[in-house]
Amino acid sequence: MAVENTYARSTERNAGHRGPTNQRERLLVVDAGAVTRTTLSGYLDRIGYRAHFASSGAEALAMLHGGLQADAIVYDAAMPVMDGSAFVRQLHSEDNHTPVLLMTAARGTEDKGADAPDAAIAKPFQLVDFGDALLRMLAART
């Protein structure tokens, strides 16, 4: 799944952000797609996040086990080997309740209940909508 960036040549839209500037939250972004990681890296940096990136669930868990502190995790639901539901389940089994924003193929397909992500956004999405979903999720934790 790719992130739709139909406004890639429009600096104003690409850097768009409808919420307040964040307080440098630390994110862990997990996606197997290099293009998605690169696109999100540039966007998150522009709007003030400190993001770390992993290309698999196992790599993300190793980073967390190694001491990486994250205020939120962004995870592609369709990751090979460990899908989004399995990742959230593993986090919770380790008593880690870091908020997870799941990038899904279709809104409403994410798990419900104890192992549900804190928020979800369907791909493809506009970067500004992604930023809004992230801000809403982070605001809800307080």
> Predicted confidence band at 96 (pLDDT cuts at 50, 70, 90)?
very high
Distance CA 124, CA 142 (A): 28
Q: Residue written as tokens 């990038």? A: 103
Query: What is the percent of the chain where pLDDT is above 70?
Result: 77
What average pLDDT is seen over the chain?
A: 83
The pTM score is 0.81
Q: Are 62 and 96 in contact (CB under 8 A)?
A: no
**Does residue 35 have a pLDDT over 90?**
yes
Strand partners, 30: 54, 75
Task: At 117, list the tokens.
Answer: 């992500």
Distance CA 106, CA 31 (A): 16
Strand 119-122: give its sheet, edge to edge.
Answer: 50-54, 26-30, 72-76, 100-104, 119-122
Residue 9: the pLDDT is 34
Distance CA 127, CA 4 (A): 8
Query: What is the percent of the chain where pLDDT is above 90?
Result: 65
Would you tell me which CATH number, out of the four given (3.40.50.2300, 3.90.1150.10, 3.40.50.970, 3.30.479.30), belongs to the domain 23-125?
3.40.50.2300
> Predicted confidence band at 89 (pLDDT cuts at 50, 70, 90)?
very high
Q: Residue ranges per domain, the chain?
A: 23-125
Residue 60: the pLDDT is 97
Question: Model confidence over 13-25: pLDDT tens digits?
Answer: 334 444 555 557 8
Distance CA 111, CA 91 (A): 14
Average pLDDT value for residue range 125-139: 94
Distance CA 56, CA 68 (A): 15
